[in-house]
Structure 1
């Protein structure tokens, strides 16, 4: 169970790093927002889902 939490947290950290770098670059690039809007919203939804899933699974461990 601890391994699952560690994998979820690692995935959350990697996705967070990608979003922290990717969103400002997308917003600063002319015309990229219209092309990448759905991908960014999907990534944010996955990020929020990972937080919820990680917190639920973590509540069973402690």
Structure 2
């Protein structure tokens, strides 16, 4: 169970880094917002879902 939480946290960290770099680059690039809007919204929803899943899984350990 601890291995699962560690993997969830690793995925969360990687996705967070991608979003921290990707969103400002997308917003600064002309015309990219319209092309990447759905991808950014989906990635943000996955990120929020990972937060919830990780916190629920962590509650079983403590």
- Provide the TM-score with structure 2 as the length reference: 1.00
For structure 1, list consecutive stretches of 5 or more residues without a partner in the other structure. none
User: C-alpha distance in 2, partners of 1:57/1:44?
Assistant: 20
Give the RMSD, CA atoms, in angstroms: 0.1
Stretches of 4+ aligned residues off by more than 6 angstroms: none
Residue 19 of structure 2 is aligned to residue 19 of structure 1:
yes
Give secondary structure in 1 for the equivalent of 2:48.
Answer: helix
Alignment correspondent of 2:35: 35
Alignment correspondent of 2:60: 60
Give secondary structure in 1 for the equivalent of 2:42.
Answer: helix
Give secondary structure in 2 for the equivalent of 1:55.
Answer: helix
Give secondary structure in 1 for the equivalent of 2:60.
Answer: helix
Note the C-alpha offset of 1:2: 0.1
For structure 2, list consecutive stretches of 5 or more residues without a partner in the other structure. none
- Provide the TM-score with structure 1 as the length reference: 1.00
Note the C-alpha offset of 1:47: 0.0
Aligned length: 62
Note the C-alpha offset of 1:31: 0.0
